[in-house]
Chain A
Amino acid sequence: MRERFLTGYNDFVLPFVCGMLFVLGYCLVGLVRIIMQLPAEDRKKFFISLITPKTLLKNIKDIFLKCLIHVDIWKRNKLLGYMHSSIAFGWFMLIVVGHIEVFLYTSDLGAKALYYPIFFRYFVAETESTMKGALIFFLMDFFLLVVLSGIALAIIKRVRSRLFGMRRTTNPSFLDLIGQYSLWSIFPLRLLAESFTADISGGSFLTKSLNYVFTEFLSNHANMLPAWWAYSCALGIFFVVLPFTRYMHIPTEILLIPFRNAGIKIVNARKGFAKAQVYSCPSCGLCIDACPMGVLKGNIKDTTVYLNRQIRRNNEARIEEISDKCLLCGKCTAICPVGVEGDKLRIAQRSVRKYNFGSDYSNISASEEILRCNKFVNNNNTSVSNPDKERVLYFAGCMTALTPVIRKATESILSKAGTDYEIMDRDGGICCGRPMLMAGRFDQARQLIEKNTEIIMGSGADTLLLSCPICYKIFREHYALPGIRVIHHTEYFDELIRTGRLDVRKGGTRYVFHDPCELGRGCGVYDEPRNVISSAGELVEAAKNRKESICCGGSLGSLTLSFDKRKAMTENALANLTADSPDEIVTACPLCMTTFSRYADRPVTDIAQVLDKCSGPGRN
């Protein structure tokens, strides 16, 4: 390659260079600000993770697989996955190969390094020796074609999103549209611009062919400059609007992945990690279809993608409305391809609310509560009477108090299995603290946690059995109970059956299992309840199950949704469950059971009832 111009400069590079410098400066300032906003120990954790080889490798792998290849989207829908990875990976390869090309063929770059890799073909001419670059020319054209195919799919997706497995997509904001149109126009303009110079600086199957076919127009070098100007302007506009559009997710996600791998959690509602999450949202809209509130086209503007948009705009009224309405089922978090935690983000928004007074549980005496469940400890003594035997403390939970049938069935199973158990909240106990936590009132939740910890530790039990997944999640995540095994009744029943302590007769009833949000997505318990049901009858699956299970609509996560507004959600969830026409709907959450029972056309039971019906004492 030889240089066509002595100066190696043309005015048309200016829009691109200005845009690029702006966006780089913006990202650098943003990066420093977000890191400074992290709490000191998180910041330390982050820096240490950056120099730990293991996390460093994981960072690189995650960034490659998530930001460039978009593996998570591939798993959802092949076409959607191809669209995203063709644009991201294709563009990335264009940049990489473009740089290789420049460094191979030019020396003494200087300031030209800013724009040469982008506009190389304009400034150079092909020489005899360039044939060695045929591979590079081919690669450049190939990846340009890949990106162009992705852009074509993106245009189709705007009109027919169902082809891509999406019923609804995000309504773009004004700036999003500008960014989108400039992004779409970058690559066709690049093709056009490079086609003009293909007979001078070389090209491959795409650019050169185009140059030959439209030789009248493309070989007229008077037309060349406007095309290169347009290409540069499209790039410049895209870069200038980028920080204010959804495309900000491109640089932010590269920061979010190391943050997440460093184990950082949301502390401040708007700063640091939360901010990184909000800006990482690509507005893809996958959460819109996932949201259980979206039935009958309702509440679409209250999904996570719009929460992120409103947080970026500091629209306080809407932020409050969106974050209070959410059921906190966590489905948007489970399916989000970039890992925005919609539920945790909302809880963080709730935690900044100001209240004039809060709860104070200092009047509740833990020692009095222990007296109600002190079966395992010796009289007048704190030592455990039977230290070698299994001692189960059963915490039924508030919701189970409304469905006593679950407690009865569980007790019956425990007696059949010969378990030595004690009930912690026979006449109503202290709440586990999860509802307070979901309302963002962390201090009060902390007080409840301390009270319950004192009672459990004082009871002398070695296993804490729960039949409510809401309690289960918080006991697992927020309680420090050394030496005590925390277990949900589905897991415990599975264990009883496996170890032969319970004898189960298999019946012919067809059961469908509803994965409660807090048990499935919240705690990752999917297989144990299915094992239990399979041993009791025939298990059929819902249309959407496991990670994608649909919230029953009764969740106490929502602060503002009244019960009459939830009917449509419950009916939608029921339709999903009864897709394979089961005889009975089985769940493992008292709240789901209550909610489904209201509108279901067939029996709704808890897994404990199912098992109790068809089990007897085991041989062991």
Chain B
Amino acid sequence: MDFGFKLSPSSAINLDKVDTEKFAELHRAEPDVYKCMACGSCTSTCPANRFSGMSVRKVILGLQRGKEKEVIAMMKNCMLCGKCSMVCPRGINTRHLILSICRIYGEDMK
């Protein structure tokens, strides 16, 4: 269908000097990761937040910025309770996202 106009591709330039290869892999496995609008609902419900500052919002942001070490340290206390997925207004399946991060990232940190 031709509307006479179209969406132009994003012209944003990522100036971060980080290796985005793993995040691209994560995005392939979890397309929803870009749906996050950083509202922080997940953070406010997270029971692990009290212990390690865990926050799915920060995890998503941190991985895009190449802060893998910090993210993994945060995620160490995730209990997979799933409250973040229940409150997410964007309907991101955060539990599966967390499991995918555990699978893709941290190869060298074992």
Contacts and interface: CB of A to CB of B under 8 A. Distances in A.
B50 interface: yes
A109 interface: no
Contacts of A428: 47, 50
Contacts of B95: 435, 439, 556, 559
B82 interface: yes
Contact of A363 (B77, B78, B91): B77
Chain B CB count within 10 A is highest, among A357, A361, A401, A448, for A357
A402 B83 contact: yes
Contacts of A399: 81, 83
Contacts of A355: 99, 102-103
Nearest to B87: A402
Given A356-B110, A594-B86, A448 B96 contact: no
B56 to A, nearest CB: 14
Interface in B70-110: 72, 75-83, 85-87, 91-93, 95-96, 99, 102-107, 109-110
A436 interface: yes
B64 interface: no
A427 B103 contact: no
Interface string A427-449: 11111010110010100000010
Contacts, number: 101
Given A356-B102, A562-B91, A431 B81 contact: yes
Contacts of A427: 50
B20 interface: no
A398 B99 contact: no
Interface residues on A, range: 35 or more
B45 A562 contact: no
A562 B90 CA distance: 11
Nearest to A425: B47
A108 interface: no
Chain A CB count within 10 A is highest, among B76, B79, B93, B103, for B79
A581 to B, nearest CB: 29
A359 B51 contact: no
Nearest to B54: A359
Interface of A: 324, 353-361, 363-364, 398-399, 401-402, 427-431, 433, 435-436, 439, 441, 448, 554, 556, 559-564, 594
11 contacts: A356-B103, A356-B104, A356-B105, A361-B79, A431-B79, A431-B81, A439-B80, A554-B86, A560-B96, A562-B91, A563-B85
